[in-house]
A and B are shown apart, each in its own frame.
Chain A
Amino acid sequence: MNRSLALRAALTLLAAAECAPAQSVDQLLARLDQAAVTFRGAKADIRRTSYTASIGHTDVESGFMLVRRAGPGKLEFLIDIAGDNANVLAIRGQTVEHYLPAIDEIQVYDFKKYRDLAQKLLALGFGMSGRDLAANYAISNLRRERVGGRPVAAVDLAPKSQDVAERLKKVELWISDEAAAPAQQKLYFRDGNTWTIEYSNVQLNPKLPSGAFDLPKGAKRVKVQ
């Protein structure tokens, strides 16, 4: 009985230690490094709020996203947006496929030119390691906040790469205490526009059907220059 209690207490302490809120940037990065090792994929609902500074206009889109590790340093994404502007975005390697269901067409973009930029932006998302984050962004202003009622660690990120910095002034990143995964991101573009992306119902390493990342087979494919 005592042994069982002791074991339970030890497990509770261990669990508490794993989820302990980061007190310093180093602790936060260490948590992300640890989570990145076991990361195989994720599923989450997303809500993107776009703000256009020139006209003070806000636009909201929502849907879900899937991400999986396809190999060392390789992540694949599928972002499915619902509503009036329903569309699906599949990002694999250097190719971005944009499916428009209203015309059953997949527009294929070659992202070779933007590969570095895309990798640095994607490093902000699921499966990111603390090492990658620190390599690509100057991290500051660690603080404790709540997103969707859940406790999170928030940081400000300044892009180190000139390529990214030309487009992005700053990124705010909220990392969930529970899962060491992003709970929210806010991208501040140079022109004053912002994107706020909120993640909810996050499932880490979920079991996904093999065709979960496939776009409709019969859709017409068009290469966009």
Chain B
Amino acid sequence: MTSRLVLENLRHKPARTLLSVLLIGVPVTLILCLVGLSHGMMDETVRRTRSIGADINVRPPGSSMFTLGGGMPSEVVAVLSRMPHVKMAMGVVNQSVGSLTLFATGIDLQQFTAMSGGFTYLHGGPFQGPDDVIVDEYYASQKHKSVGDSIEILNRNWRICGIVENGKFTRIAFPLEVLQRKTGNVGRVSQVYLKLDDPANTEAVIRSIKSQPGWEDYPVYSIEEFTSLLGTSDPGGLKAFTAVVMGIGVVIGFLVAYLSMYMAVLQRTREIGILKSLGASSGFILGVILAEAAAQGLGGCALGIALSFGARWLIHFMVPASLTMEIVHGWWPVASAIVLAATLFGALYPGLGAARQDPIEALAYE
């Protein structure tokens, strides 16, 4: 009986029902998109870091914060490469490219190939000159560029010499000395990667580096530890933003349900009067209103989840290099529960109003 009433009520005003479902779905999509972006970007960074084939990552010490560029002298690379069990050391320079999530990396291509196995070229090949840049397929697609095209990066034009498969270390690679010169880092590197003779020696090598005088303050991590640290970081402050969107989702869900159910109760005053004269209890009336809100909420959650797939496709189609979004199934119930709870809470006040209505007054209502 209740479900039939709810269904008929929803069908009676399809435009309002669809609008409510859509509005409830939007915050669900937003929450899922932000969580998906956070997971996607972290997982992407972790995959890229692992693809280098290194065992240890060395970063500049704390005092380098005063240099802003944050680098350390290139000589560090040679010193580290001479340490026991270190098979090879590679220094790189990183530079943000117009967004928080996109970086260009200066590499010594020969060293990079020796350490990681090298890029897989889809088109073109390695650097031919100082004006060359290698980009991955996603960045090339985002910028609608092919090999030989000119591309503006860091406020000047470069020639794309190679387009490589996605997922290897960096999306944009420059010759090391070129990026050092362009970013005021001549003689400096941002990070050093070490490949060992045997990964089993990782902890021993880290201890050995940290025990050398002057090295105590250098952050030295195994790649496993480094990637797990990346996994707990917060790209672009997305966690705080997600919390804000969750708050907005709660408010929107509450308001949509409140307004929708308030309108429904006003429009159905006579019907409520008839139901009450036929013996329907206050609890039954409240139950119908809440069930209707829950149906809209569930519809909104389903739509929100479906829209998150659309958002992922759109992000991948429009900006595959800048943003990576994953579908995080574990967050479906969380986002749905948050928005559904807000929806039910919003429907409570009009529902109680309907339940308290006097049947005679309701029947006289025009």
Question: Which A residues fall within an 8 A CB radius of B?
Answer: 50, 52-55, 57, 59, 84-87, 89, 96, 98, 100, 102-105, 107, 109, 167, 189-193, 195, 220, 222, 224-225
Contacts and interface: CB of A to CB of B under 8 A. Distances in A.
A190 B155 contact: no
Interface in B67-83: 67-69, 72-73, 75-76, 79
A190 B73 contact: no
B79 A103 contact: no
Nearest to A89: B68
B73 A85 contact: no
B154 A103 contact: yes
Given A53-B213, A191-B216, A225-B100, A105 B154 contact: yes
B62 interface: yes
A138 to B, nearest CB: 21
A59 B75 CA distance: 11
23 contacts: A52-B72, A53-B214, A54-B61, A54-B79, A54-B213, A54-B215, A55-B73, A55-B75, A55-B79, A57-B73, A59-B73, A85-B188, A96-B68, A98-B69, A100-B182, A102-B181, A103-B182, A191-B63, A191-B214, A192-B214, A193-B214, A220-B155, A225-B237
A192 B182 contact: no
Given A57-B73, A191-B216, 6 more contacts: A54-B218, A84-B186, A89-B68, A103-B154, A189-B62, A192-B214
Contacts of B98: 222
Contacts of A100: 182-184
Contacts of B75: 52, 55, 57
Contacts of A167: 62-63
Contacts, number: 84
Nearest to A96: B68
A225 B234 CA distance: 12
Interface residues on B, range: 35 or more
B185 interface: yes
Given A57-B73, A57-B75, A193 B215 contact: no
Contacts of A224: 96
Given A54-B215, A55-B73, A224-B96, A189 B68 contact: no
Contacts of B73: 52, 55, 57, 59
B63 A189 contact: yes
B217 A109 contact: no
A89 B69 CA distance: 11
Interface of B: 61-63, 66-69, 72-73, 75-76, 79, 96, 98, 100, 154-156, 181-188, 212-218, 236-237
Nearest to A114: B65
| B contacts with A: majority SS | loop
Contact of A52 (B68, B183, B214): B214
Contact of B184 (A59, A87, A104, A193): A87
Q: Which 9 A-B pairs have the closest CB atoms?
A: A54-B214, A53-B214, A191-B217, A189-B63, A84-B186, A103-B154, A87-B184, A85-B184, A192-B214
Nearest to A103: B154
Nearest to B217: A191
B68 A55 contact: no
A104 B155 CA distance: 7
Given A85-B184, A86-B184, A225-B100, A103 B214 contact: no
A84 B184 CA distance: 7
A59 B184 CA distance: 14
Point out which of A54, A89, A220, A222 has the most chain B C-beta atoms below 10 A from its C-beta.
A54
A220 B97 CA distance: 12
A195 B66 CA distance: 10
B307 to A, nearest CB: 29
Contacts of A98: 68-69
A197 to B, nearest CB: 11
B182 A102 contact: yes
A85 B186 contact: yes
B241 to A, nearest CB: 13
A222 B72 CA distance: 23
A54 B76 contact: yes
Given A54-B76, A89-B68, A105-B155, A222 B96 contact: yes
Contacts of B212: 54
Contact of B187 (A54, A59, A107, A191): A59
Contacts of B237: 225
A149 B300 CA distance: 79
Contacts of A87: 69, 184
Contacts of A107: 68
Contact of B68 (A54, A86, A109): A109
B304 to A, nearest CB: 29
Given A52-B214, A54-B212, A224-B96, A190 B62 contact: yes
A13 to B, nearest CB: 44
A84 B73 CA distance: 14
Nearest to B215: A54
A102 B186 CA distance: 12
B51 to A, nearest CB: 25
Given A54-B215, A191-B63, A225-B100, A84 B155 contact: no
A17 B284 CA distance: 97
B217 A190 contact: yes
